[in-house]
């Protein structure tokens, strides 16, 4: 699940990650969060360039709901 980027610049922090990891951390099988201070990537770098979370669940409907929550809650903040 790619994460939403609020603007171009340098990554300052992430919002929504604490709640996602608290509620669904046991389902996370991969993640990439560039360190704060790293420049954001251009659109052409791909939609996974500025952060992503990979989640696994045996129930498709439950997985879809979790991914929807991630997409709504987790944001990459840039300055």
pLDDT per position as a tens digit, 14-32? 999 999 999 999 999 999 9
CB neighbour class for 35 (10 Å; exposed up to 12, middle 13-18, buried from 19): exposed
pLDDT in tens, 54-76: 999 999 999 999 999 999 999 88
Domain containing residue 15: 4-78
The sign of the torsion formed by the CA atoms of 13, 75, 24, 29 equals negative
Its pTM stands at 0.78
Number of folded domains in the chain?
1
């Amino acid at each position: 699940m790619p994460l939403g980027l609020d603007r171009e610049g340098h990554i300052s922090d992430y919002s929504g990650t604490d709640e996602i990891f608290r509620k669904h951390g046991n389902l996370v099988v991969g993640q990439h969060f560039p360190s704060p201070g790293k420049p954001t990537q251009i659109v052409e770098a791909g939609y996974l360039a500025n952060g992503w979370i990979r989640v696994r669940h045996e129930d498709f409907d439950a997985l879809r709901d979790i991914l929807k929550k991630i997409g709504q809650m987790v944001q990459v903040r840039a300055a």
